[in-house]
Amino acid sequence: MSTLLWIVLHAVEALFCLWVLRWGGAERLEGTFASGLISSFAPRWNAEGLRMAALILLVFCAISFVVGLFVPSLRCWVGGGC
């Protein structure tokens, strides 16, 4: 995977997490099947649970971004192959 694609994919994921955390995304996703973008069992969660999951996802996204940036052989994306 190219560095540019790696950066773009992580930027999109980070923006989604920030939308859930800060810009009302948790309230919009609460109780919907679209909240499955965060976790497969998220439709049962309230807004606070969705925010917590998005924060954890954002932390792991940041770690995987830094690792993949410096070790290109570890760049994997679900469905995208390695």
Per DSSP, the residues of the chain read --HHHHHHHHHHHHHHHHHHHHSSHHHHHTTSGGGGGT-TTGGG--HHHHHHHHHHHHHHHHHHHHHHHH-GGG--BTTTB-
Q: Assess whether pLDDT exceeds 90 at residue 15.
A: yes
Q: Name the pTM for this structure.
A: 0.75
Higher pLDDT, 73 or 36: 73
In this structure, the number of other CB atoms found within 10 A of the CB of residue 70 comes to 8
Q: Assess whether pLDDT exceeds 70 at residue 11.
A: yes
What is the reported pLDDT for 27? 85
Domain ranges of the chain: 3-73
Q: What is the mean pLDDT of the chain?
A: 81
